[in-house]
Structure 1
Amino acid sequence: MAGVNRRWYSGMATTEDWWAVWLGLIMFLAGLTSIWGWDLVGWMAKTGTWVWGDFSWDKALKATGYQEWHPLLSLLVTYLVFTALTCLGAAAMKLNLKRFFAGWTLLFVMTWAVWIMGHEAHFKASVNEFDKYGLSWGLSLGGGFSYMLALVVGLVIGNFFKGFAEFLREAAKPEWFIKTAIVYLGIKIGLMSIEAASFTFELALAGIAATFVAYLLFWPIVYTLSRRVFRLSREASAVLSSGISICGVSAAIATAGAIRARPVLPVMVSMLIVIFAMIELIVLPGFYTAVAPNQPIVNGAAMGMTVKTDGADAAAGAILDELMRANAEANLGVVWQEGWILTSSIVTKIWIDMFIGVWAFLLALVWVYKVERQPGQSKVGVIEIWHRFPKFVLGYLLAWFVYMAIATLGPELSGTATQGAEVVEGPMRKMMFMLTFVSIGVITDFSKLKGMGKLALLYAIALFAIIAPIAYGVAWIFHHGMMPPTA
Structure 2
Amino acid sequence: MAEDTTPPPAKPSWWQNEDWLAVIAAVPLIAAVLSGWSPSIPKLGWTTSADFSKVFTASNFSAVASVGLVFILVSAIVLAASLGKKVLPFIGGAAVVFALAMVAQFLSGQSTVKAWGLEYVIFALALGLLWSHLLPTPAWLMTAVRTEFFIKVGIVMLGASILFQEMLKAGLPGLIQAAFVIPVVWHITFRLCRWLKVDDEFGVMLSTSVSICGVSAAIAACGAIQGDRKKLSYVTSIVLLCAVPMMVLMPPLIKTMGLNDAVGGAWLGGTLDTSGSVAAATEMISEAATKTGTIVKLSQNVLIGFAAFFISIWWTMRGGKDGTQTERPSVGVIWERFPKFVLGFIAASLAFSFAMSPEEAKAANGFLKGLRELWFTAAFVCIGLETRLGDLFKLGGGRPALAFLGGQAFNIVWTLLLAWLLFGGVLMGE
The aligned residue for residue 427 of structure 2 is none
In 1, the alpha carbon distance for the partners of 2:158 and 2:423 equals 21
* Deviation at residue 101 of structure 1 after TM alignment: 1.7
Whether 2:197 is the aligned partner of 1:197: answer no
2:353 to 390, 404, 407: 404
For these two proteins, the number of residue pairs brought into alignment is: 394
1:384 to 329, 333, 336: 333
1:273 to 231, 234, 243: 231
Whether 2:181 is the aligned partner of 1:184: answer no
Whether 2:336 is the aligned partner of 1:344: answer no
* Deviation at residue 29 of structure 1 after TM alignment: 0.8
In 1, the alpha carbon distance for the partners of 2:232 and 2:129 equals 12
* Deviation at residue 81 of structure 1 after TM alignment: 1.9
Stretches of structure 1 lacking an aligned partner (at least 5 in a row): 35-39, 63-68, 125-137, 227-235, 258-265, 304-316, 371-378
The aligned residue for residue 79 of structure 2 is 90
The aligned residue for residue 241 of structure 2 is 283
Post-superposition CA distance 1:385-439 (Å, at most 9, x none): 33343333322222222222145xxx5xx545554442123x2223234324433
* Deviation at residue 92 of structure 1 after TM alignment: 4.0
State whether residues 101 and 124 of structure 2, in contact with CA within 8 Å, keep that contact through their aligned partners in structure 1.
yes
* Deviation at residue 30 of structure 1 after TM alignment: 0.9
Correspondence list, 1:300-319, <5 A: none
Cα–Cα, structure 1 residues 61 and 478, in superposed 2: closer, same or farther, change >3 Å?
farther
The aligned residue for residue 318 of structure 2 is 362
In 2, the alpha carbon distance for the partners of 1:251 and 1:187 equals 17
Correspondence list, 1:54-65, <5 A: 55-56=52-53, 59-60=54-55
1:321 to 263, 270, 275: 275
Cα–Cα, structure 1 residues 457 and 289, in superposed 2: closer, same or farther, change >3 Å?
closer
In 1, the alpha carbon distance for the partners of 2:222 and 2:68 equals 35
The aligned residue for residue 128 of structure 2 is 154
* Deviation at residue 254 of structure 1 after TM alignment: 9.7
CA RMSD of aligned residues (A): 4.7
Cα–Cα, structure 1 residues 171 and 285, in superposed 2: closer, same or farther, change >3 Å?
farther
Cα–Cα, structure 1 residues 196 and 351, in superposed 2: closer, same or farther, change >3 Å?
closer
Secondary structure of 1:18's match? helix
Alignment-mate amino acid for residue 277 of structure 1 = V
State whether residues 254 and 360 of structure 1, in contact with CA within 8 Å, keep that contact through their aligned partners in structure 2.
no
In 2, the alpha carbon distance for the partners of 1:389 and 1:201 equals 33
Whether 2:8 is the aligned partner of 1:18: answer no
Whether 2:77 is the aligned partner of 1:104: answer no
Post-superposition CA distance 1:92-138 (Å, at most 9, x none): 4448433322221011122223433543xxx32xxxxxxxxxxxxx6
Correspondence list, 1:4-83, <5 A: 12-34=14-36, 40-47=37-44, 49=46, 52-53=49-50, 55-56=52-53, 59-60=54-55, 70-83=59-72
In 2, the alpha carbon distance for the partners of 1:145 and 1:222 equals 26
State whether residues 99 and 167 of structure 1, in contact with CA within 8 Å, keep that contact through their aligned partners in structure 2.
yes
Cα–Cα, structure 1 residues 474 and 339, in superposed 2: closer, same or farther, change >3 Å?
closer
The aligned residue for residue 438 of structure 1 is 381
Cα–Cα, structure 1 residues 382 and 11, in superposed 2: closer, same or farther, change >3 Å?
same
1:292 to 250, 270, 284: 250
The aligned residue for residue 212 of structure 2 is none
In 1, the alpha carbon distance for the partners of 2:224 and 2:60 equals 45
| TM-score between both structures, scaled by the size of structure 2 | 0.70
Alignment-mate amino acid for residue 109 of structure 1 = A
| TM-score between both structures, scaled by the size of structure 1 | 0.63
Secondary structure of 2:143's match? coil
Correspondence list, 1:434-473, <5 A: 434-448=377-391, 455-465=396-406, 467-472=407-412
In 2, the alpha carbon distance for the partners of 1:348 and 1:24 equals 18
In 1, the alpha carbon distance for the partners of 2:224 and 2:363 equals 40
Alignment-mate amino acid for residue 312 of structure 2 = I
